[in-house]
């Protein structure tokens, strides 16, 4: 399997100097380099941005800015990406990476609790609380997102999904990372840790949601590609 993975990586578009720098600095300056999206997933996300014609992107979980840089690098000139990160200790590294990638003018970094930031962004868009009836007249449709990428606290994936769903335009994409979770989601007996149980619940929620169509790609730790009808 490692040989196959290396072959695939060797035949993907190279990630470029800025992403090389972010990857290297992630290994040097953090203890969680495994959390990096990485070359193959980054290239897939770049292509998804391009073929979808995305102009507005929302990312939940910046980490060191690798995936945000990938996606923002192929946004049109008037494109915009909001990225949310809890850990303020990563801010300097993230902003350095954005500058290296030449995307600093397209990306806004929001430091703070993800759910609290989503509530604020919803309010700015004219959306009320989840489940409330928001009048079409109050919603700023120009602020709806074309793509939302979820890669934050695994225990809160279901809550994130509910918060972002009506922030995405019809036909837009919701991408959710780590949905295979090292294979734990299909182990028998199922591990009972909160992360695994939450990911299983999320995957089931998406499968049973008739408002979307979805497929899980066995790339890296699993990427759920969800299209809002």
Q: Given this model, what pLDDT does residue 130 score?
A: 86
For 140-187, how does the pLDDT look when each residue is reduced to its tens digit (9 = 90+)?
899 999 999 999 999 999 999 999 999 999 999 999 999 999 999 999
- Measured in degrees and rounded to the nearest 5, phi and psi for residue 61 equal 105, 90
Domain that holds residue 133: 2-228
- Note the pLDDT tens digit of each residue in 73-85: 999 999 999 999 9
Say how many domains are in the chain: 1
Cβ-proximal residues to 73 (8 Å cutoff; 6+ apart), any chain: 18, 46, 101, 102, 103
Confidence (pTM): 0.95
Residue 83: name the closest of 104, 102, 57 by CA: 57
The three-class DSSP label of residue 64 is: coil
Calpha distance 123→205 (Å, rounded) = 25
What is the average pLDDT value for the chain, to the nearest integer? 95
Query: What's the whole-number mean pLDDT along residues 96-112?
Result: 98
CB 172 within 8 A of CB 146: yes
CATH number of domain containing 78: 3.40.50.150
Reply yes or no on whether the pLDDT at 135 is more than 60: no
Higher pLDDT, 130 or 191: 191
What CA–CA distance (Å, rounded) separates 119 from 133?
A: 15
Stretch 14-20: mean pLDDT: 95
DSSP per-residue codes, 83-116: EEES-GGGHHHHHHHHHHHT-TTTEEEEES-HHH
């Amino acid at each position: 399997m490692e040989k196959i993975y290396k072959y695939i990586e060797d035949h993907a578009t190279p990630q470029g100097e800025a992403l090389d720098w972010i990857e290297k600095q992630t290994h040097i300056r953090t203890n969680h380099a495994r959390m990096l999206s990485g070359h193959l997933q980054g290239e897939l996300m770049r292509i998804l941005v391009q073929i979808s014609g995305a102009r507005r992107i929302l990312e939940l979980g910046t980490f060191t800015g690798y995936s945000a840089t990938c996606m923002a690098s192929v946004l049109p000139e008037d494109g915009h990406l909001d990225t949310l990160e809890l850990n303020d200790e990563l801010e300097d590294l993230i902003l350095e990476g954005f500058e290296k990638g030449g995307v600093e003018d397209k990306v806004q970094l929001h430091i703070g609790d993800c759910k609290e930031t989503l509530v604020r962004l919803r309010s700015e868009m004219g959306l009320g609380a989840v489940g409330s009836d928001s009048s079409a007249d109050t919603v700023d449709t120009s602020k709806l997102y074309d793509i939302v990428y979820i890669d934050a606290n695994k225990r809160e994936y279901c809550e994130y999904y509910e918060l972002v769903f009506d922030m995405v335009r019809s036909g837009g994409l919701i991408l959710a990372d780590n949905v295979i979770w090292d294979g734990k989601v299909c182990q028998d007996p199922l591990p009972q840790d909160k992360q695994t149980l939450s990911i299983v619940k999320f995957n089931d929620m998406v499968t049973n949601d008739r408002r979307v169509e979805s497929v899980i790609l066995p790339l890296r730790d699993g990427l759920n590609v969800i299209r809002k009808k």
